[in-house]
Structure 1
Amino acid sequence: MQEFSPQKPGWLKVRPPKTEKYHIVKKTLADLGLNTVCTSAKCPNTFECWDRGSLTFMILGNVCTRACRFCAVAHARRGQELDPEEPALVAEAAHRLGLSYVVITSVDRDDLDDYGAEHYVACIQEIKKRNPGARVEAIIPDFSGNVYYLRKVIDAGPDVIAHNVETVERTSPTVRDRRAGYYRSIDVLRNVKRYEPGVKTKSSIMLGLGEEEDEVKETIRRMHEARVDVLTMGQYLCPGETCLPVQRYVPPEEFERLKDFAESLGFGAVAAGPFVRSSYRAADYFRER
Structure 2
Amino acid sequence: MIRMETKKERVRKPDWLKIKLNTNENYSGLKKMMREKQLHTVCEEAKCPNIHECWAVRRTATFMILGDVCTRACRFCAVKTGLPTELDWLEPERVADSVVQMNLKHVVITAVARDDLKDGGAGVFAETVRAIRRKSPLTSIEVLPSDMGGVYENLKTLLEARPDILNHNIETVRRLSNRVRARAKYDRSLEFLRRAKEMLSDIPTKSSIMVGLGETKEEIIESMDDLRKNRVNILTIGQYLQPTKNHLPVIKYWTPAEFAELKEIALSKGFDHCEAGPLVRSSYHADEQVDQATKKIQGVSI
Range class of TM-score, shorter chain:
over 0.9
1:83 Cα shift?
A: 1.3
Q: 1:285 aligns with which of 285, 289, 293?
A: 289
CA distance in 2, matches of 1:5, 1:16: 23
Q: 2:120 aligns with which of 102, 115, 118?
A: 115
Residue 267 of structure 1: aligned partner? 271
Report % sequence identity.
Answer: 45
Pair 1:233-2:221 in alignment: no
CA distance in 1, matches of 2:133, 2:236: 25
Write out per-residue CA displacement over residues 234-259 of structure 1, whole angstroms, 9 at most, x where no aligned residue: 00000112211111001111111111
Q: 2:65 aligns with which of 54, 59, 64?
A: 59
- The residue type equivalent to 2:145 in the other structure is I
CA distance in 2, matches of 1:282, 1:82: 28
CA distance in 2, matches of 1:268, 1:207: 21
CA distance in 1, matches of 2:63, 2:111: 8
- Given that 2:208 and 2:237 are in contact with CA atoms closer than 8 Å, whether structure 1 keeps it comes out as yes
Residue 255 of structure 2: aligned partner? 251
Residue 83 of structure 1: aligned partner? 88
Pair 1:151-2:156 in alignment: yes
Partner of 2:188, secondary structure, is helix
- Given that 1:17 and 1:48 are in contact with CA atoms closer than 8 Å, whether structure 2 keeps it comes out as no
Matches within 5 A, 1:42-57: 42-52=47-57, 53-57=59-63
- Given that 1:103 and 1:279 are in contact with CA atoms closer than 8 Å, whether structure 2 keeps it comes out as yes
1:16 Cα shift?
A: 2.6
CA distance in 2, matches of 1:282, 1:200: 12
CA distance in 2, matches of 1:184, 1:86: 29
CA distance in 1, matches of 2:15, 2:245: 22
Residue 31 of structure 1: aligned partner? 36
Residue 76 of structure 2: aligned partner? 70
Partner of 1:49, secondary structure, is helix
Partner of 1:170, secondary structure, is helix
Q: 2:108 aligns with which of 103, 111, 117?
A: 103
CA distance in 2, matches of 1:99, 1:286: 14
CA distance in 2, matches of 1:248, 1:51: 32
CA distance in 2, matches of 1:188, 1:249: 30
Residue 300 of structure 2: aligned partner? none
1:114 Cα shift?
A: 1.0
- Given that 2:20 and 2:49 are in contact with CA atoms closer than 8 Å, whether structure 1 keeps it comes out as no
- The residue type equivalent to 1:61 in the other structure is G
Task: Identify unmatched segments of 5+ residues in structure 2.
Answer: 294-302
Task: Identify unmatched segments of 5+ residues in structure 1.
Answer: none
- Given that 2:61 and 2:106 are in contact with CA atoms closer than 8 Å, whether structure 1 keeps it comes out as no
Residue 192 of structure 1: aligned partner? 196
Write out per-residue CA displacement over residues 79-113 of structure 1, whole angstroms, 9 at most, x where no aligned residue: 14011210000000000000121111000000011
Write out per-residue CA displacement over residues 55-84 of structure 1, whole angstroms, 9 at most, x where no aligned residue: 2000000000000000000001x2140112
Query: Size of the alignment, in residue pairs?
Result: 285
Pair 1:139-2:132 in alignment: no
1:13 Cα shift?
A: 2.1
1:46 Cα shift?
A: 2.6
Write out per-residue CA displacement over residues 160-182 of structure 1, whole angstroms, 9 at most, x where no aligned residue: 000000000000011000x1000
Residue 27 of structure 2: aligned partner? 22
Runs of 4+ in 1 over 3 A off after TM superposition: none
CA distance in 1, matches of 2:93, 2:67: 15
Residue 178 of structure 2: aligned partner? 173
Q: What is the TM-score normalised by the length of structure 1?
A: 0.95
1:5 Cα shift?
A: 5.8
CA distance in 2, matches of 1:239, 1:47: 20
Pair 1:94-2:107 in alignment: no
